[in-house]
A and B are shown apart, each in its own frame.
Chain A
Amino acid sequence: MKLKLFLFLALICCFFSGEAMASDPLSPPLPLELWGMPFKQATVIYAFLAALLIFIGCFIWSRGLSKENPGRGQMLLELIINAFDNLCKSSFGTKERGRLYLAILTTLFLFVWTSNMMGLLPIPHLAIGGEVFTDYNANEHYDPGEPYIDSNKNGAHDPGFILPSPEEPTADVSTTLALALLLVLLLGHGSEIYYKGIKGYVEEYFSPGGFIGVVMMPLNVVGKIAEIISISFRLFGNIFGGAVIISVVSGLVCYVVLPPFLFGFFGVFVGTIQAFVFTMLALTYISAGAAEEVEEDEASEAMKV
């Protein structure tokens, strides 16, 4: 059943990519523009690479688990899963409710963390196949990421398959906004409607109730929108800012001594902290609507365990 679904999805993907290629034989395999919106190749390629790395990594990681003789990798895996399990349990009230959201939140953390680390990959800018225009000085607006269009020769050069140099997918606002919409809007608001019903969900916007609630309604609505803006732009600002600082300061010191430390701080340290912050905020926003009401005794017991 799952295999059939997977094959179906793969077919759909092939169809769309084939259509994009058929529209212009000279265009690169990934469209530069989709439905009138700009399309950043580096973001898409490295987001898929991150997902692939997580998939392969976790697949290998979870082979050969044993109860009696856990290895180092298993201990680390258990540490991560346990930490998120405890967080979910304390935020969602009960263990069962927390387990419902455990998988997506852990996956989110792994994806955001791996995406933040993508800038560390030592991949040069590559153009595979195709006729590449190499005289950069002839056109001062030449951008290696875009197919080169020479207006004098009345035609586009075929750039072949372009593999852009690594860029963090999270340094593109479309990735972070998509993640924020998926988690806060779909999962957070969706599960709030599921658990409280439409009536309970709407009442949330008139939160203190009575006349004050009516006055506060627009504020609550704007506050909900602000949640999405702040969660997505926090991640974007940190990662994009880190990338800008790394490139500018590395250039200032002529790529001597400092760049590894810059990558260590802005790449690894800030990337890890921001991945955790993003996951924690998503957890907080989702659990605000979806937490299970527990009795006092149960709550204190749940905190102890």
Chain B
Amino acid sequence: MEELHVANVAAYLGAAVAMGFGAIGSGWGIGYVGVGAARGMARQPSKNSALFRSMLIGQAVASNPSIFALVISFLLYSYGGNDKLQAADSFAQAAAYLGAGISIGLGAIGSGAGNGLVAADAVEGMARNPKESGPVTIMMIVGQAMGQTPVLFSLVVSFMLLFTGEHGNLNASEEFVTSAKLLSMGICMGFGAIGPGLSSSYVGGKFCEGLAKAPEAASELRSAYFIGGGVAQCMSIFAFVFTMILWTA
């Protein structure tokens, strides 16, 4: 029996958490785009092919959060299998790996589901008013990109936990505190990204729907959207700022 490598175990665990939780949001969201497209096609059967194309674009962008989770999952998996890639084999390193998995895994839930909401509302709006499908497609992509801001904060925190810092050579009490710090960074950013990802995307979806219903009010809608969506994202910014405070602690 060889000695137990804590960091390897944590890397595998982190990979599982990242991909398992990360698939929830996008899985639901991609399906919901299909629901929106089906509703739209029932309303406007003559525009089937255009709606189908928009649905595919929306689904491709909505799969982004889970792709981020997949990347972190692959990286953690490669760390788990290879002793040489790893910086150190300590409890602090294990906490960093687990924190990276939790951060991106939970963070992908809100944005993934929210991106689906945006695309579904936009596709329905295009069916309602096919003449406006150009601007609505553009604003759909912008809205999805805005909805992905929280998961990007999660990604940044995951990369920080994976790539920065040597967590070996610590004495017992330092190691305990560092482990707690690194794990709580992941938890803070992971949970903090769920709500804002969902809500800022929801604003974006309703904005696309409104743009299709009332194209003449585009500028008012746009300013309302950027303020509303920006304020909704504040909570994820709080979480990110607090994560940075923990990092420097």
Contact = CB atoms under 8 A, between A and B. Distances in A.
Chain A bound to chain B:
yes
Interface of A: 87, 90, 140, 219, 222-223, 226, 229-230, 233-234, 237-238, 240-242, 244-245, 248, 269-270, 273, 276-277, 280-281, 284, 288, 299-300, 303
A270 B71 CA distance: 15
B237 interface: yes
Contacts of B88: none
Contact of B237 (A226, A241, A284): A226
B57 A248 contact: no
Contact of B60 (A229, A233, A270): A270
Interface stretch (B32-40, B165-173, B226-234): B226-234
A230 B152 contact: yes
A280 B215 contact: no
A248 B76 CA distance: 12
Contact of A234 (B78, B145, B219, B237): B145
- Judged by DSSP, the binding face of A is helix
Contacts of A299: 219
Interface stretch (B47-55, B62-70, B117-125, B176-184): B62-70
Contacts, number: 75
Contacts of A303: 215-216, 218
B42 interface: no
Nearest to A270: B60
Contacts of A230: 148-149, 152-153
Contacts of A288: 226
Contacts of B156: 229, 233
Contacts of B71: 237, 240-241, 244-245
B67 A245 contact: yes
Contact of A233 (B155, B215, B230): B155
Nearest to A266: B67
Contacts of B153: 226, 229-230
Contacts of B64: 238
B241 interface: yes
Given A230-B152, A277-B142, A248 B237 contact: no
B212 to A, nearest CB: 14
A220 B146 CA distance: 16
A267 to B, nearest CB: 13
A273 B57 contact: yes
Contact of B152 (A222, A233, A248, A284): A233
